[in-house]
Amino acid sequence: MANTLSNNGITTGQTIEALQVSQSVDAFTGAKAYDITISGSLTLTGSLFTTGSVRFKNVAQNTTTSGFGAVLIDSNGVLYSGSSSIGAQGAQGASGTGAQGATGAQGPTGTNGATGAQGSIGTAGSTGPQGANGTNGAQGTTGAQGGSGTNGAQGSTGAQGSTGAGAQGAQGATGTQGAQGTNGAQGAIGTTGAQGAQGNSGTNGAQGAIGAQGTNGTNGTNGAQGATGDKGEKGVQGADGTNGAQGSSGTNGAQGSTGAQGATGAGTQGAQGAQGGNGTNGAQGATGTNGAQGATGAGAQGATGAQGGNGTNGAQGAIGAQGATGAGAQGATGAQGTIGAQGAQGTDGTKGEPGSGGLSGAIFNEQVRYLAASSGTDYEIYIESTGNLYASLSWSRSTTTLTVTSTGHGLTTGDYVVLRNMNVDYVYVSITSTGANTFTCTVADSGATSGTAGAYIPAVKVSSVTQTSGQIDAVTFAAPSAGNIQINKVNQYSSAQVDPWVWTVPASLSNGAGGFTTKKNINPIAVQLIIVDGTAFSSTDTAVVTYNLSTNINQITMTGNGLAGNNLICSAAF
């Protein structure tokens, strides 16, 4: 019987004896047998080796429907975590393309004995005899023979099954052999018959050209199946041939009915049989053609102009005096007073500005990205913004001067726009206002000279940059005079950034950086700093961003956390 650890004699102020310490050493080194009871948790950083049984109380009653992994054990007793998808192996149906044969009846399983105290693991019981194979389903019709292609290297020949005793049908005459094409799709593999002794190979005659295929002769009746020969050694696998075109998926054969389960025997449970091989996967069905894409809807309708204010109402006519109420019976109703003259109709309100025209053709994105400023290799500043889309516009060009007609455009000379669908497309240009309804800009002297489906989106400009040899100190951004632009993102590249830099952004909720008129509507930006020195990989730095809270609220100061003249990209999202 195993010993137990004892704390006898271990009290405060008493001498610790060697035996009181050595019992723990003997217990944990295995020098002597001790029963150790743990009331809390046990955490191991190494392996756990046992020579006796390991019991986990109440595990059998602790059931769950969750798909947890299984615990597996190898022949050395090492535990592994297995997939929850591994269930009991079902009987494998016979392969074939036709209806699956019925599964043979399963041999009877012994009933489980009552569970007692766990002893040593007994020897595994022998595996019960395998049920007889079901009959093969009818063979599917042979698909049309694909054109022959180049042969892959021939794999080793498997052992030939024994020849049946039935009479062989007469062999059709061999036609001249034609050039062999690509292999057709492989038919489904039927069940393998018992292997018999291999007959002697005849001498190979000279191969003639293959002629047209003759009609198939009548199959002779099958002879009785020969005895199963010894399994030959596996030949060396031949090189893979080229794959034939994939055939369409065959229909699945009907599943055979499950044999009745035998009664449970009383013997010890036999070892689990080896898992059957997976059946071959059916060929993947062809992908259906994509449905035609629906037609694109008409372009977005331009915004409706503001409705004119209602005219002032005319003065209401005076209401006739009400007759006095009699003290006795109600007197006859007095005649109704005359209705006052209707007041003069108010003047019509000022007509709202026309909305921008709807699109009759292409639909343009109102968000645009453009290079707004650069200087050699020192810096580049890219802006991503949105603004009103003005479309369906008439335009004309004389050499490099483009004239755009846009009623009430509201722009002033020096504003910037992104041109769309004119003699140029997606071009960021400065404009010169030539009237309330027209402006000009400079473009390439190429392409069409006029049109009626032009468009533009007002854009942000960089009005000034203060920098020295790639060290940017300050950048000022300006909104156009009209267009309701919003700055969405700014990317600033500088080639030698060390010191902090300041951005001055347009202060407006509706036409600028989304606020910055008071400290209450500061629009915080999300800044990322990327160092792009060299040609290998980029690195990052931590951005430090501060905002003014009293004056110059539209100024944002930024710096890094260790810049040393780096090639730097500052990316800020508004």
Query: Would the pTM of this model clear 0.75, i.e. be above it?
Result: no
Q: Is the pLDDT score of 494 beyond 70?
A: yes
Choose from 214-218, 222-226, 491-495 the range with maximum mean pLDDT.
491-495
List the single range of 100-114, 535-549, 552-566 with lowest mean pLDDT.
100-114
Contact 156, 236 (CB under 8 A): yes
Mean pLDDT value across residues 532-559 = 94
Q: Is the pLDDT score of 450 beyond 90?
A: yes
Q: Is the pLDDT score of 100 beyond 70?
A: no
Q: Is the pLDDT score of 482 beyond 90?
A: yes
- The string over 525-550, giving b where at least 16 C-beta atoms fall within 10 Å of a residue's C-beta and e elsewhere, is bebebbbeeeeeeeeebebeeebeee
Answer left, alpha or beta for residue 20, where phi above 0 means left and psi between -120 and 50 means alpha.
Answer: alpha
Question: Which of 372, 370, 424 lies closest to 402 in space, CA to CA?
Answer: 424
Instruction: With H, G, I as helix, E, B as strand and everything else as coil, classify residue 371.
Output: strand
Give the model's pLDDT for residue 74. 75
Q: Is the pLDDT score of 170 beyond 90?
A: no
Mean pLDDT value across residues 68-77 = 73
Give the model's pLDDT for residue 471. 96
Q: DSSP string spanning 295-357?
A: PPPPPPPPPPPPPPPPPPPPPPPPPPPPPPPPSSSPPPPPPPPPPPPPPPPPPPPPPPPPPPB
Q: Tell me the pLDDT tens digit for each residue of 143-155.
A: 555 555 555 555 5
Instruction: With H, G, I as helix, E, B as strand and everything else as coil, classify residue 531.
Output: strand
Mean pLDDT value across residues 365-382 = 96
Q: Which class would CATH give 386-460?
A: mainly beta
Ranges of each domain in the chain? 3-35, 386-460, 463-573
Instruction: With H, G, I as helix, E, B as strand and everything else as coil, classify residue 521.
Output: helix
Mean pLDDT value across residues 156-185 = 52
List the single range of 37-41, 128-132, 284-288 with lowest mean pLDDT.
284-288
Q: Is the pLDDT score of 9 beyond 70?
A: yes
Task: List the structure tokens of 169.
Answer: 């049908």
